[in-house]
Structure 1
Amino acid sequence: MRAMETKASQSLRYFTTYTGVALPFRLVNPIEEAELANRNTFIRASFDESGALIAFDKIVYGEIELSHRYAYDENGTLVGAEIVMPEEEPVVLRFDGAAAVSET
């Protein structure tokens, strides 16, 4: 399983927002790092060597407002997600092969 905390071979990219309700979220409207100085809100995202989204942080006025971390199996299927919002307990979700969700 590709872990939620894997740091090796990551690429960092930036986006204006995300869309959808299914996990992993779909990030839209890519922006260049040079454009961040003129933005109050943006998404900082990490992708693994296969191009899968493994983490993102929604940054609002310099503070992290929302974080997602994703884990995939060897076939690239989402098997886990950790969702963190400031001052709240993290939500950890596990997905089985039938897409059922359990919260821990």
Structure 2
Amino acid sequence: MSSNEQYDKYFLTYTGITLPLQLVNPLDPSETQNRNTYFGANLDAEGRLERVHKVVYGEVELEHRYGYNANGALQWAEIRDDDDEVQRLEFNNAGQRI
């Protein structure tokens, strides 16, 4: 996937292994011009991560999409890899994977 997307925020990397991704080291949009790899994030109306792209050499290598339940806990996550394979994970009301 080519990345011609506009993102709400940009980051250098992430930390941890839990979902949603914990993006760290914010980047100014202009800083992505000279980077081989960065993460672009879109936020929902509540300011939570809704979509994350890992962009490598201008191509989307990895995509995460997130949905939340009424209490704000993660309800589902879809992870699309560079082969366009999608894995969907479901979570209970407490945000624990089921």
Coarse TM-score class (shorter-chain normalised): 0.7 to 0.9
Identity among equivalent pairs (%)? 46
- Indicate whether 1:100 and 2:97 are aligned: yes
Report how many aligned residue pairs link the two structures. 91
The CA distance in 1 between the partners of 2:92 and 2:9, in whole Å, is 29
In the TM superposition, what is the alpha-carbon distance from 1:88 to its structure 2 partner? 4.8
Look up the match of 1:85: 81
Distance change >3 Å, CA 100–CA 15, structure 1 → 2: closer
Look up the match of 1:7: none
Displaced runs of 4 or more, over 2 A: none
The CA distance in 1 between the partners of 2:82 and 2:37, in whole Å, is 16
Question: How do 1:19-34 residues align onto structure 2 when only pairs under 5 Å count?
Answer: 19-34=15-30
Look up the match of 2:46: 50
- 2:97 is matched by which residue type in structure 1? A
Determine helix, strand or coil for the equivalent of 2:41: strand
Question: How do 1:62-73 residues align onto structure 2 when only pairs under 5 Å count?
Answer: 62-73=58-69
Root-mean-square deviation over aligned CA pairs: 1.3
Instruction: Extract unaligned runs of 5+ from structure 1.
Output: 1-10
In the TM superposition, what is the alpha-carbon distance from 1:38 to its structure 2 partner? 0.9
Deviations 1:39-79 (A, max 9, x none): 11000001112111111000000111111000001111100
TM-score by length of 2: 0.86
